A and B are shown apart, each in its own frame.
Chain A
Amino acid sequence: MIALQNVCKKYGEKIAVDNLSIIFDQGTVSVLVGPSGCGKTTTLRMINRMVEADTGEIRIRGRSINEYNPVMLRRAMGYVIQEVGLFPHYTVYDNIAVIPRLLKWNDARIHKRVMELLDLVTLDESFCEEYPVQLSGGERQRVGLARALAADPDILLMDEPFGAIDPINRITLQDTLIDIQERIQKTIVLVTHDINEALKVGDRIAIMNEGTLVRYDTPENILFEPGGKLVEMLLGHDRNLKALSLRKTSNFIEKSGFSTVSPEDSNETIQRIFEGKEERVVFIIDSEEKMVGRYHCVVESGEGCSVMKSDDPVYIEKSANLSEALSKMLESGEKVLPVVSSKKRLLGVVTLSSLFDEMSRESDRSNT
């Protein structure tokens, strides 16, 4: 969809982009990531001709971007920047309506589109008459996103879009982006310096350094087979934990190896379970199989253990990823963690040892 071939850009003596060739496929989120000065922003800005490439070809759907008037090219693409750049003298409505108005849409169509977009970026209609100065950073960037998508471009270019947002809202915005992409399937090229963001939102990640492309692959492949010092460094020492975040808990549920009792069962029943098996925890479930608590077997000096009841059930939802499961295990000290459905029904357990097995399986894969 977007193809760069042998693209170079120099600023004086400094080479910003060095003979870059890369293809961004239609309907995917491609993330450009790398250390400062690696050329990722320059590359992005060459696509909409905010920066003109020195040499090389950039084609969109096979046609060179130089065949188009730059202004027309940009109107056909969405552009989101870190500082957002909303027009301070326009209301939210007017900001979003900017491009449709440039394209001379009629008022009714514009109104409908603005409302659709506000819904898409999860902003309430009451924001229409507000001015940017009255909005928070996260809200502003949502408007920025809506503005970029207003004319329904096929391509969306994003330059560190969430870099200036506080960490909590950044996560919400990333989730919003993922949601939006599921609904509208644009071709998105996103620049970020945050490897975690890249892993989270990217379908493919292009790692750049000093103007060249070092690696271009899926998050999975990069995590499990970094293939180089730079990539390893970028991924961080905790890349195995990051790899866990790509795995869904629902795929690792074990249905055996634990016992359940109902709230009515007597202490003797529970004592017998503890004596008979090696388990230390028994889960209490009600008639609808929902978790309501657990019993611990606390080992005391000598033989036997005393049974401690806790009404606070510790569990993880099946929609969580393995990294979150591990975190819960560390938090609760439980090596065997119940997995529940969204309605809190007990589905099975996930164990610490199965996590270890998974991690070592993947690292075997990367060592071969």
Chain B
Amino acid sequence: MSLFTYIIEHSNEITVLVVQHGIIFLISIIPAIFFGVALSIIVTREGREKQGNRLLTITAAAQSVPSVAVVAIVFIFVGVGALPAVIALFMYSLVPIVFNATSGMLSISSEVVEAAKGIGFTNRQVLWKVKIPLAVPVIMAGVRSAATINVGTATVASFIGGGGLGDLIFMGIKLYRSDMIFSGSLIVGLLAIVIDALLRLLEVKLIPGSLREKVAG
């Protein structure tokens, strides 16, 4: 029970850390979503499947790079503080988003695109009315994956002075205070769960009706 008393007693400081954590999360993930999806659209344009597949291979390999390595490399080039933390998290979140979005766009049946073109859709209409709606389930899966990873990885960012709940955890490690370690970890975990749940709600709203059954749970 010392775990919960710690949280209750230090709720003010913890709230500050949560907010910090949240800000770092949002500032890194939102650009990652935009850039990632935009990149996948560009790379999967008609006739460029080879580009798309190449990107897929690259990101697949990149997914195995550990977060600590990314943070460390950014630290070397940019230094300490919130900015390098955000940059590192942005790059790290980009990978699963690009992977999923590209994969999703590439997996759309070519006959649906052929029919869309043949009945008179412009390329833009094919993209927005056909390709993207059909790729949304896979894209959202990538976004959810990136979001939960981001929330967890943000703790590592506190290594380079990024702030957030990582500070609580690492301080707890230094001071041999298990209640601090547990509190920090627990809240990070809860944050990840909440964000995932919120994104699932968003996903249900975005996915076209007929494909919803496939994404149950």
Q: A interface vs B, CB < 8 Å?
A: 48, 50, 71-76, 78-79, 81, 83-91, 98-99, 102, 131-133, 144, 147-148
- Bound form: Cα–Cα A324–B211 in Å: 47
> Which A residue sits closest to B118, measured CB to CB?
A79
In-complex Cβ contact of A88 among B113, B117, B118, B134 (8 A): B134
Q: Which residues of B contact A90 (CB under 8 A)?
A: 208, 210
Give A71 to B111 CA distance when docked, in angstroms: 17
Q: Closest CB of chain A to B216's CB: distance in Å?
A: 15
Q: Using A88-B210, A88-B211, A89-B211 as known contacts, say yes or no to A148 and B119 having CB atoms under 8 A apart.
A: yes
Chain A residues lying within 8 Å of B122, measured Cβ to Cβ, are 71
Given A87-B112, A133-B210: A75 and B119 interface contact (C-beta under 8 Å): yes
User: Which residue of B117, B130, B209 contacts A74 across the interface (Cβ within 8 Å)?
Assistant: B117
CB of B111 within 8 A of CB of A74, answer no
Residues of B contacting A71 with CB < 8 Å?
120-122
Query: Which B residues are CB-close (under 8 A) to A91?
Result: 210
Complex alpha-carbon distance, A147 and B118, angstroms: 11
A81 touches B118 (CB 8 A): yes
Binding site for A on B (CB under 8 A): 109, 111-122, 125, 130, 133-134, 208-211
A contact residues around B112 at 8 Å (CB): 85-88
B115 touches A85 (CB 8 A): yes
Distance, CA A299 to CA B114, complexed state (A): 67
Within 8 Å CB of A73, what residues of B? 120
Asked if A84 and B120 sit within 8 Å, CB to CB, the answer is: no
A86 to B120, alpha carbons, bound, how many Å? 14
Do residues A147 and B119 form an inter-chain contact, with CB atoms below 8 A?
yes
**Contact call A87/B130, Cβ cutoff below 8 A:** yes
- B121 and A102 contact, CB distance less than 8 A: yes
A74 in contact with B118 (CB, 8 Å): yes
Q: Are A81 and B119 in contact (CB under 8 A)?
A: no
- In the bound complex, residues from chain B placing their C-beta under 8 Å from that of A87 are 112, 115-116, 130
With most chain B CB atoms within 10 A of its CB, the pick from A48, A75, A98, A132 is A98
- Decide: A50 and B118 in contact? CB cutoff 8 A: yes
- Contact across chains for B120 and A99 when beta carbons are under 8 A apart: yes
Distance (whole angstroms) from the CB of A151 to the closest CB of chain B: 9
Contacts of B111 in A (CB 8 A): 81, 83-85
**A89-B133, A89-B209, A89-B210 known; A102+B120 contact, CB < 8 A:** yes
Alpha-carbon gap, A158 to B89, bound state (A): 51
- State A148–B211 Cα separation when bound (angstroms): 24
When the two chains form their complex, are residues A85 and B208 in contact, meaning their CB atoms are under 8 A apart? no
Question: Which residues of B sit under 8 angstroms from A78, Cβ to Cβ?
Answer: 119
Decide: B134 and A85 in contact? CB cutoff 8 A.
Answer: no
Enumerate chain A residues within 8 angstroms of B120, measured Cβ to Cβ.
Answer: 71-76, 99, 102
Q: B130 — which chain A residues lie within 8 A by C-beta?
A: 87
Asked whether, in the complex, the Cβ of B118 is within 8 Å of the Cβ of A48, the reply is yes
Give Cα distance in the complex from A90 to B116, angstroms.
12
B150 to chain A, nearest CB (A): 29
Which residues of B are found within 8 Å of A50, using beta-carbon distances? 114, 117-118
B210 touches A74 (CB 8 A): no
CA–CA, A75 to B125, complex, Å?
13
Given A88-B210, A89-B208, A89-B211, A74–B115 Cβ distance below 8 Å?
Answer: no
State whether A79 and B210 are in contact (beta carbons under 8 Å apart), knowing that A71-B120, A71-B122, A99-B120 are contacts in the complex.
no
The answer to whether A98 and B118 touch (CB under 8 A), given A88-B211, A89-B134, is: no
